[in-house]
Structure 1
């Protein structure tokens, strides 16, 4: 069901940007809604502006944030922009100074000083992200002017899509007292370990995450897989080009060549190649008896030992890296690889214990050079 796959892959489909695809998805909306609501508990929004599937994860993870953002202030500015647009009609225009004045007047706590370059740069990053998502359009001017000077103006147009950017809540969020309340808001009055809620959770964990692990969520979810795993696998494999792998302590949704849903690993880039080589080295450590897997197929090693493994990969395989990674200082190489492995949930670093927990997903794939590889440099990218 390609239309379902498209909705899982994208935030939404805007009629103004792709009218043909918009109508194609709406023609299949009945079948899509049936799968989304029955299997995943995801709401489908359709109107004259867009079609959207509300993709709320069962277990929030770091990689699910907005990759373009690097500070908490940028998320705050985005929320302020959404509040500002709430009072605007579709196709209504506004200038940047109207937005900055609104933020100045309504920002809780310390007022925003737009004479500070960092604040202007963060605001521009948020505006560019909003434009890329179809929330606003640039009608006239350039945000580079505002980046250089607080008096720089840009004319924007509200598309009307901003009202559907945030998720819908079943309760007044002002009553929430902890982050967990946001995750559980749809199931406050339901036994989450049974029936429909558990099914929704399992489907979401498989479709929205790199892997599903037994001790990273309710254990009852693996009880569901124990009894209904084969039926679930058949269901997913009928709707997508995929394979579902279910193990003792983990489960994975493995996409095929014709399946396109969000970011996938490995990507067609040098970093993915190096990560695959690292996974291969992890396998060597396990098969050689140097690293032991636990009952849940996880591996726990000292952080310094893990970093030495990354250095080994660079020393042994680095001649085949692209120039950037060949010449990268050892410390920077270790830091970038560790961050990437953690972002893809192959590992989890425990800074307090100075340990690294290696997840079973690191053993699902591995990379190596061809047998006839002589150690010369690969073509640079």
Structure 2
């Protein structure tokens, strides 16, 4: 993977964990600095021990959350961990009970009952994330033990990265309560820049979202893409193996074989659970594409596809029955209801569909990514 792709894909690159990549980005950064600043409006933070690209400015999506967090309390605990670490110097140690005491005293919204296993689990999930992101190091013990025993101790060390985890805003955020409030203060300083701000938004959305749709809220951005289509393609091609596809109602980037960064679809992740969900999504898209070709499903003037909830549910079960033999044990054994819910949530997270009253609305990207299992594979599976 190229250094620019690495920089875009990761929260930060540390010298401790990725020494070679850290120094390579240092050496190559000038080659793509103009692209980051001029097209995306991004700047990089260079410190002695890490490099971070300050990425922001696209609409918040479900998939942008922390997949490992199973409850909102994990996000609460993550914020409290960051606040707790403000009191520690780099390489200074602390024990888990100190953190627990700080959370108990600091969190005023409710009394945290640490006897409750779900609260301990939520804290452990937040600690695991901090370890994964190198915000803290573990010197002794295991946070897994705390899940089962509220008296378990773990010794941690502050890496100093916590101070750079959150974005620095140019005004007081204490009175902000919604996502829109935060989005507005991010754009206030740029709102008067006109074409520059529009260019940043277009490049960010093309790079970090499934596509830019020709909707009222994206009208100016979509017009910009149509006006500057050749320049946009040329710019992206200079740094990535991608091709820009512009249709009547949507524009998006298709990654080539030599591009592999961020979250993408289809997903070839090592996780069998995610891979199966991805395969099922491709099969659904394939069925929908055939139904459109056979005039059994109609599309509206925006190329959106409306399906009754009952129709999609039946389609998902139809696919399950035909291909169940090649799924993992988990997907072969769960109930039909759980199977449907799992796949629908996955499609929503990919921005492939939205729910509206009694309908599911698929966007036009569905027709671009379809998949089929080899019939020979199905026959072999049935024989086994």
Aligned position for 2:23: 23
Q: Is 1:277 paired with 2:283?
A: yes
Partner Cα separation in structure 2 for residue 187 and residue 149 of structure 1: 46
297, 307, 313: which one pairs with 1:307? 313
- The corresponding residue for 2:84 is 84
| Structure 1 CA distance for aligned equivalents of residues 334 and 147 of structure 2 | 31
Task: Report the equivalent of 1:363.
Answer: 367
Q: How far apart are 1:374 and its partner, in Å?
A: 6.1
Report what 2:350 is aligned to: 344
Question: CA separation of 1:322/1:102 partners in 2, compared to 1, >3 Å: closer, same or farther?
Answer: closer
Equivalent in the alignment of 1:329:
335
CA distance in 1, matches of 2:173, 2:14: 28
Give deviations 1:257-298, integer Å, cap 9, x for gaps: 221211221123332222111110010121111211112111
* 1:229-268 per-position Cα deviation (integer Å, ceiling 9, x unaligned): 2211111011101111111111111111221211221123
Q: Is the 8 A contact 2:146 2:152 kept in 1?
A: yes
CA distance in 2, matches of 1:371, 1:266: 20
1:1-381, aligned counterparts within 5 Å? 2-176=2-176, 178-191=178-191, 194-215=194-215, 217-268=217-268, 269-350=275-356, 353-370=357-374, 375-377=379-381
Mapped to 2, the partners of 1:349 and 1:216 lie a distance apart of 19
| Counterpart-to-counterpart distance in 1, 2:119 and 2:153 | 16
Alignment partners' CA distance in 2, 1:216 and 1:153: 54
- TM-score by structure 1 length? 0.93
Q: 2: distance between equivalents of 1:160 and 1:378?
A: 55
Q: 2: CA distance between counterparts of 1:100 and 1:13?
A: 29
Structure 1 unaligned segments of length 5 or more: list them.
none
8 Å Cα contact 1:49/1:161 also seen in 2: no
The alpha-carbon deviation at position 323 of structure 1 amounts to 4.3
Whether contact under 8 Å (2:226, 2:246) holds in the other structure is: no
Q: Which is worse superposed, 180-189 or 294-303?
A: 180-189
User: For the structure 1 residues 369 and 20, does the alpha-carbon distance in structure 2 shift closer, same or farther, using more than 3 Å as the test?
Assistant: closer
Deviation at 1:20, TM superposition (A): 1.5
Any idea what SS the aligned residue of 1:174 has? coil
Following superposition, the deviation at residue 189 of structure 1 comes to 4.5
Cα offsets for 1:186-245 (capped at 9, x unmatched): 321444793011111111111111222222842110010111122111110111011111
* 1:6 Cα offset (Å): 0.7
| C-alpha contact 2:323 2:378 (8 A) present in aligned 1 | no
Distance 1:263 1:10 in 2: 11
Change in Cα spacing, 1:97 to 1:199, as seen in structure 2 (3 Å) is same
Deviation digits for residues 62-107 of structure 1 (CA, Å, limit 9, x no counterpart): 1100001121111000000000111211111111111111111110
Looking at structure 2, the residues matched to 117 and 369 of structure 1 have their Cα atoms a distance apart, in angstroms, of 42
Counterparts of 1:315 and 1:127, CA distance in 2: 40
Structure 1's 161 and 330: CA in aligned 2 closer, same or farther, altered over 3 A? same
Question: Using a 3 Å threshold, how does the CA distance of structure 1 residues 233 and 379 change in structure 2: closer, same or farther?
Answer: farther
TM-score scaled by structure 2?
0.92
Contact 1:242-1:255 at 8 Å conserved across structures: yes
